[in-house]
Amino acid sequence: MKQIIIRSLLCLSTFIGFCWDGQAQVRDNKDQTTKADIENEPNTSKLLSISRLTLGGYGEAVASRNFYSSNPFRYMYPDSYKDDPDHGRVDLPHVVFFIGYEFGNGWRMNSEIEFEHGGTESAMEVEADEGGEYEMEVERGGEVALEQFWIEKTFNRAINLRMGHIIVPVGLTNGNHLPTQFFTVYRPEGENTIMPCTWHETGISLWGHLGKHWRYEAMLLPGLDSELFNNQNWIKGGSASPFEFKIANTYAGAFRIDNYSVKGLRLGVSGYYGHSFRNSLMPSYADKYKEVKGAVTIGSFDFEYNAHNWIARGYFDYGHLSDAKTISIFNRGLANASPSPRTYVASGALCYGTEAGYDVFSQFQKFKEKDQKLYLFARYEYYNSMYKATEGIENQDWCQRQILTGGINYFPTDEIVIKAQYSAGMLKSPFEDENSFSLGIAYSGFFTK
């Protein structure tokens, strides 16, 4: 049955062509609505009037050569692995299929199925070296996940109520995660390290437009699970659930406000607040943990400028975790069989970055007529998942780094991009720098007339 479903999806993808989940996101004004969109569309429903059924998707294939050791102990014993040979990797980071339907009277539905790292596969094999026994072999260690599923009611342009599994609108990358919305081959590393990305939760969202230049969104969602926090990724793992359900002992709130007053420029602020301790399957109610909240607070600023053949983007994120020392000690004392990484976690995490690219083809009429683009870009990024460690918690220097990236993005059409880049990942001594060369090809599109 599983194979039939997968084959059906593959047939559907062939029919779709170059579809775009991102168009659906633009059409619901969730992620990338421009000022022109706001000015030209008198109401939200018009953005969805192309057809009742919308099919779309995006996908990316990448290859990298990493000029550093692949040994997982290279941070614990850096001198032992600094002379290791380089290594290469290929991947399908994300392949997503989108289905949306407009029911009428302001009601609509959206869903996304995501295959990460090529999906997951298993096969039955006969093992000759084990007496001809049958064994189930895992052939691919990826994931298949429902990234979005929500139903929405539009009351007017200013009030839209969305209920279901929704993208959390915090930071730059969560709202701009399509491969045509960033220059690098992989998603920007900073936000993708310290926060869930793409961050999606089951909850309720209220959003809309206020005047010509403002868009807002507020969301109620389950809290994070502090038992899944760690030193390398801060609170990123806390949005996951190792169970068939998401635990919601505590709740959280998120918001986003965007401004489009300047032509071609979007400015945005976003934030998150929620308690994370005791949001697990077997929470501790011992007296010594009575006052422990594990409050997660995130503040973010981001921008995007797209005009005069330039695209520039940037962000600044800071996060704070209360009771970090208590949570660190508690997690390290959990059983080995626990899904917790059982590492220390910082009280503060920081990341910021900016990128800019210029369309060289804009200077050549031949390419302009064909609507082809070639961006030369540069990017700088800094992140530290252990930016602030409370007293008694070791501050691990390998958790911070600076990244300089330069490369090209070639768009033969608006829906397809071919990428190449060289990245210099600079770590503090004695850790080895992590430099790499990467190639990628991606699409994001929608099928409609």
| pLDDT of 11 | 43
Q: Interior CA angle at 297 toward 294 and 298, to 5°?
A: 140
Quote the number of domains for the chain. 1
Q: Which two tokens stand for residue 321?
A: 């975790």
Is 50 exceeded by the pLDDT of residue 34? no
| pLDDT of 410 | 99
Residue 121 belongs to a domain: no
Residue 52 belongs to a domain: no
Work out the pLDDT band at 33, boundaries 50, 70, 90: very low
Q: Is 128 exposed, middle or buried (0-12, 13-18, 19+ CB in 10 A)?
A: exposed
Is 50 exceeded by the pLDDT of residue 22? no
Residue 279 belongs to a domain: yes
Q: Interior CA angle at 192 toward 446 and 422, to 5°?
A: 85
Q: For residues 271-299, give the mean pLDDT.
A: 93
Is 80 exceeded by the pLDDT of residue 232? yes
Mean pLDDT of the chain: 87
Residue 320 belongs to a domain: yes
Work out the pLDDT band at 18, boundaries 50, 70, 90: very low
Work out the pLDDT band at 19, boundaries 50, 70, 90: very low
| pLDDT of 44 | 38
Residue 312 belongs to a domain: yes
Residues of the chain with pLDDT > 90, as a percent, come to: 73
Structural domain boundaries, residue 226: 160-447
Question: 208 and 160 in contact (C-beta within 8 Å)?
Answer: yes
Residue 188 belongs to a domain: yes
User: Mean pLDDT highest for which of 38-47, 236-245, 280-289, 436-445?
Assistant: 436-445
Q: For residues 232-239, give the mean pLDDT.
A: 96
pLDDT tens by residue, 74-125: 999 999 999 999 999 999 999 999 999 999 999 999 999 999 988 765 555 5
Beta strands at 200-210 and 214-222: parallel, antiparallel or unpaired: antiparallel
Residue 40 belongs to a domain: no
pLDDT tens by residue, 162-189: 999 999 999 999 999 999 999 999 999 9
CA-CA-CA-CA dihedral for 131, 135, 140, 143, to nearest 10: -160
pLDDT tens by residue, 134-164: 555 555 567 788 889 999 999 999 999 999 9
CATH of the domain at 272: 2.40.160.10
| pLDDT of 123 | 52
pLDDT tens by residue, 346-377: 999 999 999 999 999 999 999 999 999 999 99
Residues of the chain with pLDDT > 70, as a percent, come to: 83
Q: For residues 17-42, give the mean pLDDT.
A: 39
| pLDDT of 242 | 85
Q: For residues 283-295, give the mean pLDDT.
A: 90
3-state secondary structure the chain: CHHHHHHHHHHHHHHHCCCCHHHHHHHCCCCCCCHHHHHHCCCHHHHHCCCCEEEEEEEEEEEEEECCCCCCCCCCCHHHHCCCCCEEEEECCEEEEEEEEEEECCEEEEEEEEEEEEEEEEEEEEEHHHCCEEEEEEEEEEEEEEEEEEEEEEEECCEEEEEEEEECCCCCCCCCCCCCCCCCCCCCHHHHHHCCCCCEEEEEEEEEEECCCEEEEEEEEECCCHHHCECCCECHHHHCCCCCCCCCCCEEEEEEEEECCCCCEEEEEEEEEEECCCCCCCCCCCHHHCCCCCEEEEEEEEEEEEECCEEEEEEEEEEEECCHHHHHHHHHCCCCCCCCCCCCCCCEEEEEEEEEEEEHHHHCHHHHHCCCEEEEEEEEEEEEEEEECCCCCCCCHHHEEEEEEEEEEEEEECCEEEEEEEEEEECCCCCCCEEEEEEEEEEEEEECC
Residue 93 belongs to a domain: no
Name which of 42-51, 250-259, 268-277, 431-440 the model is least confident about: 42-51
